Amino acid sequence: MKIIRAKDYTEMSRKAANIISAQVIMKPNCVLGLATGGTPLGTYAQLIEWYRKGDLDFAEVTTVNLDEYRGISKENPQSYWYFMHQNFFNHINIQPAHVHLPDGANLDAQAVCEGYDSVIHELGGIDLQLLGLGRDGHIGFNEPNVAFELGTHCVELTESTIEANKRFFESKEDVPREAYTMGIKSIMQARKILMVVNGADKADIVKKAFFGPVTPEVPASILQMHPDFILVLDQEAAAQI
């Protein structure tokens, strides 16, 4: 595990974007695993800026996202498909056919999950997986006590995750209760994993996840076992380590 400290969110985002851009430059046809949520937005903004300057080319890049709400179509403004296009894909030269997310509109969970695992396998696996960190230690939608050996699966979201995500919806009642997510097994098979964490409210879980025991009660703790895991965090998130 490599830990990179940054003074603030802006510097954290730039350092993470540096790692992703290096991956794209070294392997133009790489497979990037991407994440949604507020934390990666600064990283995406930095990558867009470098693309516009001509420093990056995403024409050959393929992406696979961690997760998608179940029961939501691509066109829904609350879908992760919509989020990723609004905040990243629409601003770079990635080919539409190279963008992959679980199909939230398809309610056949087995078909969606098996199909998504097949996509990742056919792509040759993920070169670099970007992650955020939930306040309870979840990664993707892998909530506490999920089995480490799971591939893509359908999950019922915990109350704390619903609470954290309600800011993106008109009301808490509008937040979907289920989601499709890459499993811990899928994430751990990525050749490189990059996690971005910011804010004082994440300091406690950072300590538990990366300086405590490896346990399904803290899903992110398994990342301690990955051979090429990079944690980039700001001063506030690093306060207890």
Per-residue model confidence (pLDDT) at position 53: 97
Which position among 98, 136, 153, 234 bears the catalytic label? 136
Q: What pLDDT band is residue 158 in, cutting at 50, 70 and 90?
A: confident
For the chain, how many structural domains are there in total?
1
In a domain, 241, yes or no: no
| 136 noted as active-site residue | yes
180 neighbors 104 (Cβ within 8 angstroms): yes
pLDDT in tens, 170-193: 788 888 889 999 999 999 999 999
In a domain, 239, yes or no: no
Helix axes 9-26, 41-52, angle to 10 degrees: 50
| 138 noted as active-site residue | yes
In a domain, 108, yes or no: yes
Number of helices (H), then strands (E), belonging to the chain: the values are 7, 10
> Which residue did the predictor score with more confidence, 163 or 84?
84
User: What's 53's domain CATH number?
Assistant: 3.40.50.1360
In a domain, 164, yes or no: yes
Which position among 68, 103, 127, 138 bears the catalytic label? 138
Question: For residue 156, what are the domain limits?
Answer: 2-234
pLDDT in tens, 33-75: 999 999 999 999 999 999 999 999 999 999 999 999 999 999 9
Which position among 67, 68, 103, 127 bears the catalytic label? 67
Per-residue model confidence (pLDDT) at position 159: 85
Which position among 68, 103, 127, 143 bears the catalytic label? 143
In a domain, 221, yes or no: yes
Indicate whether 167 pLDDT > 80: no
Q: What is the pTM of this model?
A: 0.94
In a domain, 240, yes or no: no
